[in-house]
Amino acid sequence: MRSPIPASRFLCVVFLVVLTIPLTTTRLLGQSSGTFYTLDVSAPAPPVRSDHLKLGGTNSKGQTVTVNNYYISLNGKPAIPITGEFHFSRYPRAYWAEAIQKMKAGGINMIATYVFWNMHEEREGQFTWQGNRDLRYFIELCGQQHIQAIVRIGPFGHGEIRNGALPDWLLGKPISVRSNDPAYLTYVERLYNQIGQQLRGLLFNDGGPVVAIQLENEYQHSAAPWGLTYPGQPMDYTVADRDRAVTQEGVGVATAKNPYAELGNDHLRVLKSLAQKAGLMAPIYTATGWGNAAVIANETLPVTAGYAYPTWTVKKDISPFYRYTNLHKKPDYAPVRYVPDDYPYFCAELGAGIMSTYTRRPIVPANSLDALINRCVGSGANGIGYYMYHGGSTPKGQDFFFNDEAYGYPKISYDFQAPIGEYGQVQPSFHRLKLLHYFLNSFSPDLAPMTLRLPSNADSLKPTNVTDLRYAVRGNGRSGFLFLNNFQDDTVMTDKTGIRFRLKTADGDVVIPENSTVALKNEQNAIFPYNLDLGGIRLTYATAQPLTRFSDGKTTHYLFFAPDGIAPEFSVLKSKGVSLLATGTTTTEQNARRWLVRCPQKGTSQFTLRQPNGTQVVVLVVDYATALTAWETTINQQPHLVFSSATVLPEKQGHTLLSLGQSAFTMAVYPKPKAMPKLSSGTIVTATGNDLLSVYQVRLPDQPLTIQTQKVGESRLVLPLPDKLPVGVSDIFARIDYTGDTGMGFMNGELVTDEFYKGIPWQIGLKRFVQQQPDRQLMFYFRPLYKKAPFLVDLPSSVLPDFGRSGRKTSINKVEFVTEYKAAIQF
């Protein structure tokens, strides 16, 4: 999408060395009050090593993937993968393409997906690869969208699936699962051969999108319970007999020494051999390496995790995932079974939400997620991945529900509070994460090789410390990025005021900001560049966060946004023949050495740097609210940004607009397009009042709804469905505000959707249910919320009802319907 600074769309995992550098804190005197934080960032990045790794390769198109102990490169260029987990078998096939489009529009450049064994071989020897279980079609769609894929081939997968995806019929065999038992491996080999057939021609080696394959999952770390059990019986786990004593529930720290560790590593070697024999060849094989799990030394890339709001702990606890640490030295969930310095650091399972259980229902705040990514990248991670990025609905099997009922999960819903919800809803966390994804996609060639510098108190700073400033630097000795985070789960951080930095680079000290201070509010995070190369012009620092950059050949555009409460300030080093032009409300001051450009915290501003050869650099600055509405796209083969509350999905011809609840909305485009855009329906007119962007008022045809629901008693609700969705409507969302324990939705007497109460309205997309015969209605049943329910500790007090003398409460408070409008637009 960008030239000559393209965002990588291939798997690239980058690792950085983290060094602890002395911190100096100084009270400022004179022209501005505050505190100086001084950090020596002058050391260059250390040399990288790759000879020890048996990873990487070249495909039929001549493309290369190479791996060293800090990062992966595509065709020699460092890049950072941004992986979003999406389970194709948990989502209707008809909407896969749109789901992939949304993920890509959110900045995801790789999709990870499970092949759940029991969904494909529910009956022994009878494999299903059709309909919603069509792996090949899903990967083909990824290729059409130019997005890479990691296929998690099992055999064990977990994923909150019954038996961790092992088929029930395995329990009736005289074998030891998840071991080198020859009989077990025979069944695994049959599975792998089937997957190999489905992916033939779609692997990286053949020029396809599958660049990585994960073997097993959390092997010798955790397991799932067998679903065939009895009420009250202790859980019987899907684990090799020898590993029962060291296997745990969920993701966590594992300190017990496994005497069979080498046997576990050998099992992964056998699985890799079987996968390759089945034709599953990839430049990267991954293994979940957290919590002392098994790996194949130098042959599998250990990936890591981070869940700040787990359900497998006894209660809420403050996590370690929001303080900057040396992840390359000590990974999260250490100890680990590998040498961390030998591999890039790739956080492949960062909890982008969490799945509720019956007894635990944490709510994951949207602002916890971008803070988590800021912390991980600012701690040396060069690959990030979300579990889950897109929610779904687990299908029902022939004999049972596939969701893990033994652990107390919903029988169908797998919404996961993900950035894209169970029914394709784009949630607030999607927009917050998008800002970081665009930054990483654009700046990863610079950022990936950069080493980490931490203040001297980083190792001793506890997650419970809410007063000390948390910061880190990634740099190459001369330039880099300053990371700030003031978020911590399950507590409140103090606002940080009067902050200034002195970064000691190889080219001299950089003071940020020069003559003033910045403040970082509770729950806020930010990234500031220093000594950033703007096409041959040095940006000494900015107190604004980079969003993206692109070029049309003659003009290079840099987009920044102002974090809330921080005044954007840019210090530009003067150079011969370069002139600066500020527009609008931007102000400048200068001396013999630099220009100091100040932009307003609200609105849009711009300044231009012109060079003697006729090229120019344009810096556009928007406020945070505007940045949240940004969409990267291409118009007439040139990169652009569209700002709109509507979701903007690029198509082969034009774009699709999806607007939830608003038939009228504003759309702005940067740089200004040459022609007036055209809508497939409705009207679009030019708005005035902005000289930097082309602003349009869009009005789509209204689609009034006349859905009349009927309450039956205090616990049942009948919702009639329309015969079809009107033209110009993508979906209709029912929002049911209720108080209860659980909600269940039935169609034709069959359970089709469910939800565990968390104090927020239940959202159900209706399009997948429309036109299903013979009963065109959904019937909802709500069970009462009890005063002594164990999960009430996870809910805010504001949503807890008055239970009265009965000690229980059921009420259907409000039902509303929200239309998602759809239109095509061409520029």
For 795, other C-beta atoms within 10 Å of its C-beta total 18
Parallel, antiparallel or unpaired: strands 35-40 and 496-505 = parallel
513 preceded by cis ω (within 30°)? yes
pLDDT band at 20 (very low <50, low <70, confident <90, very high): very low
Residue 137, pLDDT > 90, answer yes
Asked if pLDDT for residue 658 goes beyond 60, the answer is yes
Which pair of tokens denotes residue 701? 């045809």
pLDDT of residue 19: 36
Task: Give the C-alpha separation, 251 to 260, whole Å.
Answer: 20
Task: Determine the residue type at 496.
Answer: K
* pLDDT at 415 > cutoff 80: yes
Q: What is the pLDDT of residues 88-103, one digit of tens each?
A: 999 999 999 999 999 9
Residue 13: predicted pLDDT = 32
Alpha helices (H) in 654-718, listed in sequence order: none
d(CA 383, CA 562): 25
- Reported as a single tens digit per residue, the pLDDT across 248-258 is 988 999 998 89
pLDDT in tens, 676-686: 999 999 999 99
Mean pLDDT, residues 787-813 taken together: 95
**pLDDT above 60: residue 4:** no
DSSP code, position 500: E
Distance between CA atoms of residues 624 and 602, nearest Å: 8
How far out from the chain centre does Cα 269 lie?
30
Residue 33, pLDDT score: 66
Which amino acid belongs to residue 368? S
pLDDT band, very low/low/confident/very high, at 552 (cuts 50, 70, 90): confident
Is residue 689 over pLDDT 90? no
Q: How far apart are CA 8 and CA 657, in angstroms?
A: 25
Q: What angle do CA 172, 167, 744 make, to 5 degrees?
A: 120
From residue 68, alpha-carbon distances to 65, 376, 397, 461 in Å are 10, 19, 43, 31
Residue 768 contacts by C-beta under 8 Å, 6 or more apart in sequence? 92, 95, 423
**Pairing mode, strands 569-573 and 579-583:** unpaired
Q: Between β-strands 284-288 and 210-214, what pairing exists: parallel, antiparallel or unpaired? A: parallel
Closest among 135, 278, 274, 157 to 214, alpha carbons compared: 157
Instruction: For CA atoms 343, 345, 346, 349, give the dihedral sign.
Output: positive
Structure tokens at 377: 């990248």
> Would the pLDDT of 149 be above 50?
yes
Non-local (6+) Cβ contacts of 773 within 8 A are none
pLDDT tens, 349-375? 999 999 999 999 999 999 999 999 999
Residue 205: CB atoms within 10 Å: 16
CA 813 → CA 350, 735, 747, 780, 797, distances in Å?
35, 11, 22, 13, 18
Beta-carbon contacts of residue 49 (< 8 Å; ≥ 6 apart) = 68, 69, 342
Can you tell me the mean pLDDT for 63-83? Answer: 94
The mean pLDDT value for 69-80 works out to 93
Q: Three-state SS across 366-418?
A: CHHHHHHHHHHHCCCEEEEEEECCECEECCECCCCECECCCCCCCCCEECCCC
Q: What is the mean pLDDT of residues 660-670?
A: 97
pLDDT reported for residue 708: 92
Query: In this model, does residue 785 exceed pLDDT 70?
Result: yes
Tens of pLDDT, residues 294-337:
999 999 999 999 999 999 988 888 999 999 999 999 999 999 99
Query: Which residues on neighbouring strands pair with residue 472, listed in sequence order?
Result: 483
CB 563, CB 627: distance < 8 Å:
no
Cα 664 from Cα 698, distance rounded (Å): 6
Q: Which phi-psi region, left, alpha or beta, contains residue 487 (left: φ > 0; alpha: ψ -120 to 50)?
A: beta
At which residue do the structure tokens 């020699």 appear?
Answer: 76
Q: What is the DSSP letter of 797?
A: G
Residue recorded with tokens 């810096």: 619
pLDDT 10s digits, 174-206: 999 999 999 999 999 999 999 999 999 999 999
At 806, the pLDDT band (50, 70, 90 cuts) reads very high
Amino acid letter, 304: T
d(CA 95, CA 113): 16
Q: What pLDDT, in 10s, does the model give residues 557-570?
A: 999 999 999 999 99
Q: Full-prediction pTM beyond 0.85?
A: yes
Q: Quick one: tokens of 161?
A: 């699936």
Mean pLDDT throughout 56-84?
A: 94
Q: Where are the beta strands (DSSP E) in 543-611?
A: 545-551, 555-562, 569-573, 579-583, 587-590, 594-598, 604-610
pLDDT at 688: 82
* pLDDT (0 to 100) of residue 146: 96
CA distance 82 to 175: 39
Average pLDDT of the chain, as a whole number:
94
Exposed, middle or buried, 5 (CB in 10 Å: 0-12/13-18/19+)? middle
pLDDT of residue 314: 83
Give percent above pLDDT 70 in the chain: 96
Pairing verdict, β 694-699 and 777-783? unpaired
Residues 492-533 pLDDT 10s: 999 999 999 999 999 999 999 999 999 999 999 999 999 999
